[in-house]
Chain A
Amino acid sequence: MRKGLIQATDSFERIVHWCLAVSCLILCFSGLGIMFHSLNFLGEPFGGLKSLKYIHNFTALFFILSLFFSVRMWWKEAGIFVFPEDLDWIKSAGGYLWHVDKVPEVGKYNPGQKMFFLVVALGGAAMVLSGLIMLFPLSIPAALVRLMYLIHAAGFVAIFAFFFIHLYLGTVGSPGSLPAMTTGWVTRAWLKKQHPKWLKEMEEHGTLVVYGEEKSSSHGH
């Protein structure tokens, strides 16, 4: 680790994030294997499509847990929009789409991330609910079950597309972001560019954790 790096996420946050990501991906790909005849072969390594169905169903339990902890952990910071700063950020698209001289400053999560979080939280909940009903279709009126299939498919459209946006912005689209998920330590320059207000807040509250610096200075004020 290099001196001067700043801790952006704690280990619990990262573990939950990874659990959510891995279970979501397994669900996406096992789901794809079930949905497309041409992808049925994805079940082969596990002994067939039926095993893929079981993998999908059991991974869902894992996903439900991760989703629960994610929502509990991030709701306050990422689930609530703050006005007017978030609106200004949206108007300039965070400087992602066209050139903006000064991107409005936002806190720990920018409105784009908040929207992503909300899609994951609400979409995830819809997936869990419709998925659970799809497990017991015989005890529920057929018209309702059919609606659940529709919701499950619509949720997949959204989550699968969003996943790639998330992946792009978390890696090459915004270099320096990935460590927030891997080691948890980011550079000050990155923090200043992406979340200047959060940096200021942490400095003001003395919660800034800088690698290699004495405790006294990180608490110092």
Chain B
Amino acid sequence: MKTEFVKLIDVTLCTACRGCQVACKQWNEMPGLRTKQQGSYQNPPDLQWNTWTLIRFQEYAPKDGEFKWLFRKDGCMHCTDAACVKVCPSGALYHTEYGTVGINQAKCIGCKYCISACPFDVPRYNPETDKVYKCDLCYTRLQGDQQPACVKSCPTGALTIGLKDVMIKKAYARVKELGGDANVYGDKFVDGTHVIYVLGEKPEVYEHLPKSPSVPVTTMLWKDILKPLSLLSAGGVIAGSFLHYIIHGPKLPDEEQGQEPKGGE
């Protein structure tokens, strides 16, 4: 990997202006779909095939503290050991030279393997196109030496992008500055994600944020063990049959000359 980029989301700086959410839609030319008032400022209620990043609005009232809002920009984490890439049969999901996870919709066959595999519940399916959609960290913009649309639009500095080690250092420095429960989220899971958070509270406080995400065990068994085993065992059987033939020989009917001693009576 040549230049590994990391996008840092400092949720403590986010004011929920949703500039990133809008910028993402604009740059990627994704339509808005009509939604209903759900009694929350958060809109739409969840990631959608046409909404690749979303500000989650969470009302947080700790037992021994004051009520506060928690805002978190949700979206693809661009895992190094990405479960979605592991399961994608068509190569539609792939690792880019920036360490991010791109998606080539032309190749997607709509199998939805990635949806079940992703530990962050990110990819979304559009039945009309029979394809899956998610953030690609503005791959084409990165290639043109541009920042992703969300980072570009963020007025508070909550979103920044840069070289991996620089950003990780920056994240830890910020956590130290914040103190308390503040922590860095992402650099240790699934071999490190290329989107990392500075969280003001413990990870378990945030809704829809897995505490310790990992590639599902069943997914690993499937792709790393059973998949190669299917060819290995078939190959073993073919080799075994051949050996059986040349060592033991086929099971031949006994030669019987002329009439059977006993007929069909």
Q: Which residues of A contact B (CB under 8 A)?
A: 34-37, 40, 48-50, 53, 95-98, 137-138, 142-143, 145-147, 149-150, 153-154, 156-157, 160-165, 168, 172-176, 187-190, 192-194, 203, 208, 210, 213, 217-218, 220-221
Contact = CB atoms under 8 A, between A and B. Distances in A.
A95 B254 CA distance: 14
Nearest to B226: A153
Nearest to A156: B230
Given A147-B218, A190-B253, A193-B251, A208 B241 contact: no
Contacts of B57: none
B219 interface: yes
A140 B145 CA distance: 41
Given A137-B112, A213-B264, A95 B251 contact: yes
A161 B234 contact: yes
B116 A53 contact: no
A114 B9 CA distance: 60
Given A50-B109, A97-B248, A173-B245, A161 B237 contact: yes
A174 B241 contact: no
A40 B89 CA distance: 8
Contacts of A49: 89-90, 107, 109
B248 A98 contact: yes
B233 A168 contact: no
Contact of B216 (A36, A146, A220): A146
Residue from the set B90, B110, B130, B256 with the largest chain A CB neighbour count within 10 Å: B90
Given A98-B248, A174-B251, A160 B89 contact: no
B111 A53 contact: yes
Residue from the set A142, A162, A213 with the largest chain B CB neighbour count within 10 Å: A142
Nearest to B229: A157
B33 interface: no
B237 A138 contact: no
Contacts of B254: 189, 192-193
Interface of B: 87, 89-91, 107, 109-113, 115-117, 121, 125, 130, 216, 218-219, 221-222, 226-227, 229-230, 233-234, 236-238, 241, 244-245, 248, 250-256, 260, 264-265
A208 B229 contact: no
B248 A189 contact: no
A221 B216 contact: no
Contacts of A194: 251, 253
Interface of A is mostly: helix
Contacts of B238: 164
A212 B240 CA distance: 40
Closest 8 CB pairs of A and B: A189-B253, A168-B241, A153-B226, A146-B218, A161-B233, A193-B253, A145-B116, A190-B253
A172 B237 CA distance: 15
B111 A173 contact: no
Given A138-B112, A189-B255, A173 B244 contact: yes
A157 B125 CA distance: 29
Contact of B236 (A142, A161, A221): A161
Contacts of A156: 226, 230
A200 B68 CA distance: 86
A150 B109 contact: no
B237 to A, nearest CB: 4
A35 B113 CA distance: 11
A193 to B, nearest CB: 4
